[in-house]
Amino acid sequence: MNTIARISLTGMMLLVLIPSCGGSEDVTQATGANALPAEIASTGWTRAEEIRSFAGDSLFEYINGAAEMYHKYGFADVTVADYHKQDNEIIVDLYRFTDPDLAFGMFTTLRPYPSDTVNLGVAGFSLGSVLLFVRGRYMVTLTSYEESDVISAGIESIATAVDSLLPGTGELPGMFALIPGPGRIPNTEKVFAESFLGRGFLTRVYTIDYGNAGDTVTVFVTDDTSGEKLLKWSEVAAEGEPTTEDVEGLPFDEGRILAITDSWHGLIVAGPRADRLIGIVGYNDTHRDFLVTWLDSFPQPAKP
């Protein structure tokens, strides 16, 4: 049984995935396999005949210690193929998720910062003999045991070919369009499937780091049409200590302002706006103008 070094959930460390010795099945006709060309003619890389697949809970047979995280992000299945050129080998994994935003979210849990970005799919990066990118509902990893010019060129050519065959757009999830552009720190977008800031009720949260007033804050937005997230966070805020920062008058809907001081994240200011819960992690008075401008960019709440 071989052990393959992969990208870690903490970013710069390597996660260990173990290819299963059994339980795989031939999925040549599967959607994922259709994006794995039999040959990259221009570079001489050819795909092994066997294509393996692991779906649902069988992912635990393939990944050692990380399958639970993938399932949190809506893992559906993974299609695995080996490419060869002489004695060189590259392993390609096509992870399919239930929707594009969750696929991107899983990708962002693996992306280190800073990283060497690659122009594939929605976003991608390389780290040694590993390349990872995301497009649509697919997250793709290409991995080799060795590092060489032949391997690097092969990874690039195979990744480009796979990207051209995958469905889906190369655009960021639409929720990021709600966050102001100027001041964004590139490649810091993240999607949290659950437990943002350690709060189980904060699900499907979209964040990006933002350079503002000489420091860095994290801004976030999440859908809250039902108001359930606001209600639960209001209960948490009511139990905390009042803040000394000036948060009065911020134009959240109905003047509902949540201010929570967290020992790890500092002051978190949030509130409802246009059926969403939005806010800033690491807020202080110097961020007030930015937050007001951002809130004012949302539609005004309808008057009764």
Q: Which CATH number fits domain 174-296: 3.10.129.10, 3.30.540.10, 3.40.50.150, 3.40.1000.20?
A: 3.40.1000.20
> Would you give the DSSP letter of residue 239?
T
pLDDT band at 303 (very low <50, low <70, confident <90, very high): low
Span 183-193, mean pLDDT?
94
> Would you give the DSSP letter of residue 243?
P
pLDDT band at 269 (very low <50, low <70, confident <90, very high): very high
Residue 276 bridge partners (DSSP):
223, 273
Task: Kindly report, residue by residue over 200-248, the tens digit of the pLDDT.
Answer: 999 999 999 998 666 889 999 999 999 999 999 999 888 777 676 778 8
Q: What is the pLDDT of residue 185?
A: 93
Burial of 270 (0-12, 13-18, 19+ CB in 10 A): buried
pTM: 0.87
- Length of the chain in residues, anyone? 304
φ, ψ for residue 278, nearest 5 deg? -130, 160
**pLDDT at 11 > cutoff 70:** no
Q: What is the pLDDT of residue 32?
A: 76
Task: Kindly report, residue by residue over 99-141, the tens digit of the pLDDT.
Answer: 999 999 999 999 998 889 999 999 999 998 999 999 999 999 9
Q: With H, G, I as helix, E, B as strand and everything else as coil, classify residue 1.
A: coil
Q: What is the pLDDT of residue 212?
A: 65
Of 133, 92, 136, give the one whose Cα is nearest residue 111: 133
**pLDDT at 174 > cutoff 80:** yes
**Mean pLDDT estimate for the chain:** 86
For domain 4-165, the CATH architecture is 3-Layer(aba) Sandwich (3.40)
pLDDT band at 66 (very low <50, low <70, confident <90, very high): confident
In this predicted structure, which of 21-35, 46-60, 235-249 has the lowest mean pLDDT?
Answer: 21-35
**pLDDT at 21 > cutoff 60:** no
Span 38-42, mean pLDDT?
88
> What's the rounded Cα separation, in Å, for the pair 214 and 284?
12
Task: Kindly report, residue by residue over 140-172, the tens digit of the pLDDT.
Answer: 999 999 999 999 999 999 999 999 999 998 999
Positions of CATH 3.40.1000.20 in the chain: 174-296
Of 173, 190, 180, give the one whose Cα is nearest residue 210: 180
